[in-house]
Amino acid sequence: MASLRNALTFIRFSHTVFALPFALGSMLVAARGLPGWRIFGLILAAMVTARTAAMAFNRVADWEMDQRNPRTAGRHKLMSRAGATALVVGSAAAFVGVSWLINPLCFALSPVALLIIFFYSLTKRFTHYTQLFLGLALAVAPVGAWLAVRGSFDWAPLVLAAGVLLWVAGFDLIYATMDYDFDRGAGVRSMVVRFGIPQSLRLAVALHTAMFLLLIAFGWVAGLGAWYYGSLALVLIALIYEHRSAAKLDLGAINDAFFKSNAFVGIVFVAGVWASVGLG
């Protein structure tokens, strides 16, 4: 039991709440409600296995770097490097297997999805725009959920994916301010190192403003109604709270705002989609 608890902490399993609601929202729109329980379960399994593989790969790729960073120095004590590598391989294989059970297109694209979500962990070594690659990694989720239901591409999941990309890039800019001194000293590349903390916080506001506009566009493209647009008012309040907390430049405030605000955004989003699709 302790090993399972350590593994879940190691991959920050609780942060699954960030990407999962947008996958579920895309799924609900694609199916115009809940799809069959089989597809619903497979989408959940794909999300969990893909994210587990991505996070475990990130831990393996950054093993030595994390040990030098005071904020992350305890991570390697939760799981051995060999165990983390096995978790990468096992969860990636499980994701491919789940994709095979969904439909041929998802199975064919599963290696591409893995490549995208793994690639993020390497970007901090050669580009300052690593936050955008993290956003791209999570933006795969709504597209994958749509393909699981429909088996074909459409504009709605692509618009939502663009919104997710900007949302994640924005909140990771805020989160990365906590590592600014370490990253700059260790030669780790990020947008915060490139632009500095004040400008990065302003950029995060711009990214979240664009993300909010894309959520409005998603509602229009997906044919959603008043329940959805009403939920966006709560999303806007959560984003404002997050940025006001970040402006304090306090570690505790940023941590608190990071999890609570972003989890709230995802939950309110999927609730608004569900109500709009189910109630009209």
pTM of the entire structure? Answer: 0.92
Query: Degrees (nearest 5) of the Cα angle 28, 30, 32?
Result: 60
End-to-end Cα spacing for the chain: 44
Residue whose entry in the numeric block shows the structure tokens 């903390």: 197
Amino acid identity for residue 235 in this structure: V
Instruction: Establish how many alpha carbons lie within 13 A of residue 116's alpha carbon, considering only the half-sphere containing its beta carbon.
Output: 20
Residue 81: other Cβ atoms inside 10 A: 12
CA-CA distance, 256 to 270, in Å (whole number)? 22
CA-CA distance, 9 to 79, in Å (whole number)? 10
Domain boundaries 2-279, CATH class: mainly alpha
How long is the chain?
280
Residue whose entry in the numeric block shows the structure tokens 């039991």: 1
Closest CA to 176 of 194, 158, 164: 194
* pLDDT confidence of residue 112: 98
**Residues contacting residue 82 through CB under 8 Å, at least 6 positions apart:** none
Q: State CA 5 to chain mean position distance.
A: 21
* pLDDT confidence of residue 203: 96
Amino acid identity for residue 224 in this structure: L
* pLDDT confidence of residue 2: 46
At 119, list the tokens: 């690639």
At 204, list the tokens: 């995060």
Q: Per-residue confidence of the chain (280 residues) as pLDDT tens digits?
A: 546 564 555 556 555 666 799 999 999 999 999 999 999 999 999 999 999 999 889 888 888 776 777 666 666 666 788 888 999 999 999 999 999 999 999 999 999 999 999 999 999 889 999 999 999 999 999 999 999 999 999 999 999 999 999 999 999 998 888 888 888 877 888 999 999 999 999 999 999 999 999 999 999 999 999 999 999 999 999 999 888 888 776 666 666 666 778 889 999 999 999 999 976 5
CA-CA distance, 144 to 175, in Å (whole number)? 26
Alpha helices in the chain (DSSP H): 2-10, 16-31, 37-61, 63-68, 81-102, 104-123, 130-150, 155-176, 180-186, 191-195, 197-222, 226-246, 251-279
Closest CA to 171 of 25, 18, 51, 9: 18
Amino acid identity for residue 24 in this structure: L
